[in-house]
Structure 1
C-alpha cells in the first residue's frame, strides 16, 4: 500500500469501524486546483501559490484574464434554516457544496453532473473549464515538486490516525453534543500540499474536512486537534431542532445579564475546549501550554470551562441545562465586564448606517467577527429586523439626525426616557432586555473611528 500512488486521486481509508463514524482521508486534485486558483486572485493576500505562479512562464495576460473571470464567478449563494434559533445552524453555502462535490467525484464530468442546479449551468461549466485549464499548471508548479514529501505525509497521517483511534473523538463529540450522524455517511478528510510554509490550514463543512499541510510537517498532534476542532463545529451544527431549541431556551431563561454573550461564544468555545483542549491532551499526554485559540475571549474561557467539559465526557453525559447554567456562572464570575468590552461584543454585531463606508470602518476597527450583518438606511423596517437578532446592535446616525434619533427612541422601549442633543457628536450604550448591547452613534463633526473608540 505504501508504494501505490495514483494521480489525480489518492485515496486511503483510515478506518471502517462497525457502528462508529467512518473517516476517510484522500487527496483530491480537483479541490486542490480550485483552491490554487482562488489563491491567485488579486483580492487574495500574498501566498506561496501566488508567488510560484507569478514567477512562472504561465504568468501571462491569457491566464491572468482567466483568474479574473474565475474570481467573478457567482457561486456564493446561500439560504437559512429558518426554523432553528438564530445563529444556531450554519446556512447552506453553495461554495461549500461545490467543494464537497469536487472532493467526492473523480473527474470534472461527474462533478458537473453532481452539481447541476446548485449554480446556473453556465457558471458550473465555466468553473469546470477553469479547473481543467489550471490543472497541468498546478501539477507542474506545486504538486509534482512536492509529491514525494506530501504522499509520505498522507501515509504517516493515516498511520497516526489508526494508531490513535481518531474516530473515538468523533464519537465523543456526538455524545457530548447530544448530536447524531448517519454512520453510512463517511467523513471525508482532504489534504493537499502547502509548500514553503510553517503552518497548515483547516476548514470543515458538510461531511468534509479540508487542510493544506506544509511539506515539512512533523507534529500531527496539532493537526488532529485542529481537525477535530473543525469537525466538532459540524457535530454541533447537526444537533436536532429539539436540542437546539432546548439550548436556546436554557440560555434565555438564565437570569444572568451575561447569558446572551455567553451564548454567542458557545460554538467556538466548545470546539476549542474539545479539540484544542481535550483531544490535544489525549494525544500529547498533557495540555497544550500555548494559546488554544488566537482570540483572547475564547482562549481564556475555554480554559475555565475545561474541567466541566472533562467531567461531562468522563460521565458520558450530554450537555444539558445544568451544563449551560454552570458555564454561564463561570463566564459571569470570572469575566463580569466582558459584556462591556467592545473587542468582545463587536464580534457579534448588526450595524445599521446611512453610509455604507461606515461598515468598512467597523470592520477595520474590529476585524475579528463571528456574526455580522449590515443594513442601510435607518428605517423602521431595518430596525425591526435588527431587533429579531441577539447580536450587538449598532446604529450610526449621520443624516437627518433629529428624525432618525426620534425613530430609534420609538423603536426601543428601553429608550422611552432617553434624552439626546442631535446637534452634538455622541455615543450612547445600553443593555437591552434581550441582554444585547445597543450602541447609538450620532456623528456631526467627529469621524466615526474617533467616536467608536470613545465608547466606555
Structure 2
C-alpha cells in the first residue's frame, strides 16, 4: 500500500438488538516492547527502533544476546480452518494470540497466566523475561521522548472519528460483505509512537488492532481510509461459512479462464476499492488521484471494480453472483495478460524443491506474497497436496531429473502429451484445468534466476 496500514474501529450499532460494539483505544506498554524487540532482530530491515537502539548505551552484548534469544524462541504455531474454502479464512497464528494477550492483560504475570498452553511454559517464561528486561530500554529510548506528542494524538484521533461518523463506513462494509460481528465482543486498539517516520504501520487480528503512529501525523483522511481498508479485511474474513462457500462456487462455476487469479486478487482489490476509494472520497470530497495501493495489480483492479462497488453500496446490496461475474469480466477485459505475468501469479504460490535455498531465492525474486506453501520433497504425496490448492504451482527439479519429471508428468493430465529431455535445462509453463499456472523447472547448472527468465 502507498502508506503503511493503520487500523481503527469505531462505535457501531448493528444487529437485532441495536447493541453497540465497544472499542477501547489505549497504549499497551507490553505490546510496544514486544514489537520493539521484534524490530531489533537481524531478520528485520533497518527501522527507527534499530537506529535508536544502535546509538544508545544499551547496544551491548547483553541486550543483543537477548534479541538473538528472542529470535530463537519457538512461538509461531498455526492451524487452518479446513472446513472453509482454501485461502478464504485466515489461519490461527499463535504469535497473534500472544500479542492479543499482551494487549488485554495489565502485567506480565497476568500475561503468562492468560497464555499458558499456547506455547510451552519454558518458552513463555523466557519470553516474559526478555520483555521485562527491555521495558526500561524501550521507555527511555522511545516512549518518554515522544510521550508529549503521542498522548494528545490518541484524543485527536478519537475526536476525528466522532466528527466524521466513521462508524457508518464499518456498517457499509458489514452489509457489502454480507458479514457479521457479535456486538458483545469489544475491539481492543493498541497504539504506540513511531518517531522520525513519514508513515504509519498496523496489523489487524481477531478483535485487536495495533498501530505505530508517527508522532507528527497530520493527514487524518488518508489515515482513516487506510484504517477502514484493514477493517474490511476483518469483515471479509468473518463472513459465515455459508457465504464463503457460495462465493467460492460463484468463482469456480464462472467459465472464464481468468476466474482463479481474479479470485486470488479479490480480498485486496475490494478492501482497496472500499477503503482507499470509497472512504477516502467521502472524507476528502473527491477521489484520490494517486495510486491507491503500491501493487499495480491491486491498484488497477480496485479502480476497475470501484464503480460497481459504489453501485452496490448505494443499493445496499451484498456481494452476489452478478457482482462476481462483473468482477471477473472486468479482470478478463482489461488485464488479459496478467495470468502470464510472474509478478502477479507468483504472489500466490506453492513451491516444491529438494533444495531449501530455492525458497529464499524465490522470495528475493518475487517478494510480494499473499499465499505461500512449500515442501522439500517431490513425491506422490506432495504432488497430491499441491494439486488440491488453487495456487500457482512451481516444481524445481535438480536431482534424479528423469525420475522426478516422469512422476510429475504422471500426476497432471494436462501433461499427457508433454515431452521432455531430462538432460536439458528448461522452464515449462501450462495453465491447468483448475485455472492455476504450473511452472516446471529442470535445473542442471544454471541459476534459478536464469531459468525463471525463460518464462518471460
TM-score (norm. length: structure 1):
0.95
Partner of 1:451: 451
Quote the residue 1:5 is aligned against. none
* Distance in 2 (alpha carbons) for counterparts of 1:357 and 1:68: 22
Distance 2:32 2:272 in 1: 27
1:14 CA drift (Å): 6.1
Matches within 5 A, 1:202-351: 202-351=202-351
Partner in structure 1 of residue 371 of structure 2 = 371
Q: Helix, strand or coil: the match of 2:286?
A: coil
SS in 2 for 1:454: helix
Q: Is the 8 A contact 2:9 2:167 kept in 1?
A: no
| Contact 1:21-1:171 within 8 A present in 2 as well | no
Q: Give 1:392's aligned residue.
A: 392
The alpha carbon displacement at 1:24 in A equals 2.7
1:24-39 correspondence to structure 2 within 5 Å: 24-39=24-39
CA contact (8 A) 1:14 1:25 kept: no
User: Structure 1 residues 335, 16: CA separation in 2 closer, same or farther (over 3 Å shift)?
Assistant: closer
CA displacement at 1:20 relative to structure 2 = 4.2
Aligned twin of 1:48: 48
Q: How many angstroms apart in 1 are the aligned matches of 2:53 and 2:287?
A: 40
The answer to whether the 8 A contact 2:202-2:212 is kept is yes
When residues 381 and 16 of structure 1 are mapped into structure 2, their CA distance, relative to the original with a 3 A threshold, is closer
Contact 2:221/2:284 (CA < 8 Å) preserved in 1?
Answer: yes
> Which segment is superposed worse, 294-303 or 441-450?
441-450
Query: How far 1:19 sits from its partner (Å)?
Result: 2.7
Match of 2:21, SS state, is: coil
Mapped partners of 1:337, 1:153: distance in 2: 45
Aligned counterparts of 2:41 and 2:439: Cα–Cα separation in 1? 37
- The question of whether the paired residues in 2 share the 8 Å contact of 1:22 and 1:186 is answered with yes
Equivalent residue number for residue 104 of structure 2: 104
1:77, distance to aligned residue in structure 2 (A):
0.6
**Cα distance in 1 for residues equivalent to 2:432 and 2:418:** 13
CA distance in structure 2 between the partners assigned to 1:419 and 1:261 by the alignment? 27
**Which residue number corresponds to residue 7 of structure 1?**
none
Distance 1:260 1:51, change over 3 A: same
Whether 2:409 is the aligned partner of 1:416: answer no
Larger RCO, structure (CA 8 Å, separation 6 or more): 2
Provide the C-alpha distance between the structure 2 equivalents of 1:416 and 1:183, rounded to a whole number of angstroms: 54
Secondary structure of the structure 2 residue equivalent to 1:41: coil
| Pair 1:414–1:102, CA change in 2 (3 A) | same
1:263-307 Cα shifts (integer Å, max 9, x gaps) = 101111111111111111111111111211111100000000000
User: Contact 2:12/2:171 (CA < 8 Å) preserved in 1?
Assistant: no
Matching of residues 89-168 of structure 1 within 5 Å:
89-168=89-168
In structure 2, the residue matched to 1:430 is: 430
SS at match of 2:184: coil
1:25-69 CA deviation, whole Å, 9 max, x = no partner? 111111111111111112221111111112112222212211111
Tell me the secondary structure at the aligned position of residue 86 of structure 1.
Answer: coil
How far apart are residue 15 of structure 1 and its match? 4.1
The equivalent residue for 1:173 is: 173
Query: Does the CA contact (< 8 Å) of 2:12 and 2:167 recur in 1?
Result: no
> How many residues align structurally?
445
Q: Find the aligned partners of 1:93 and 1:87 in 2 and give their Cα distance.
A: 14
In the other structure, the counterpart of 1:79 is 79
Residue of structure 2 equivalent to 1:23: 23
Question: How much is the aligned-residue C-alpha RMSD, in angstroms?
Answer: 1.5
Instruction: Report the equivalent of 1:184.
Output: 184
Displacement of 1:445 in angstroms is 3.2
Query: Could you tell me how far 1:446 is from its partner in structure 2?
Result: 2.3
Which runs of no fewer than 5 residues in structure 2 stay unpaired?
A: 1-7
Work out whether residues 84 and 245 of structure 1, in 8 Å CA contact, stay in contact via their aligned partners in 2: yes
- In structure 1, the partner of 2:439 is 439
Following the alignment from structure 1 to structure 2, what is the Cα–Cα distance between the partners of residues 213 and 308? 33
Q: How far is the alpha carbon of 1:97 from its aligned partner? A: 0.6
In structure 2, the residue corresponding to 1:352 is in which secondary structure? strand
Q: Is the 8 A contact 1:280 1:287 kept in 2?
A: yes
- Structure-2 separation of matches of 1:294 and 1:139: 33
Tell me if structure 1 keeps the 8 A contact 2:10–2:167.
no
Which secondary structure state, in structure 2, belongs to the residue aligned with residue 188 of structure 1? strand
Partner secondary structure for residue 327 of structure 1: helix
Counterpart Cα distance in 1 of 2:69 and 2:415 = 49
State whether residues 23 and 186 of structure 2, in contact with CA within 8 Å, keep that contact through their aligned partners in structure 1: yes
Q: C-alpha separation between the residues in 2 aligned to 1:171 and 1:54?
A: 45
Aligned to 2:4: none
Gaps of 5+ in 1: 1-11
- Identify the residue that residue 9 of structure 1 maps to in structure 2: none
CA contact (8 A) 1:22 1:167 kept: no
> What is the CA distance between 1:360 and its match in structure 2?
1.9
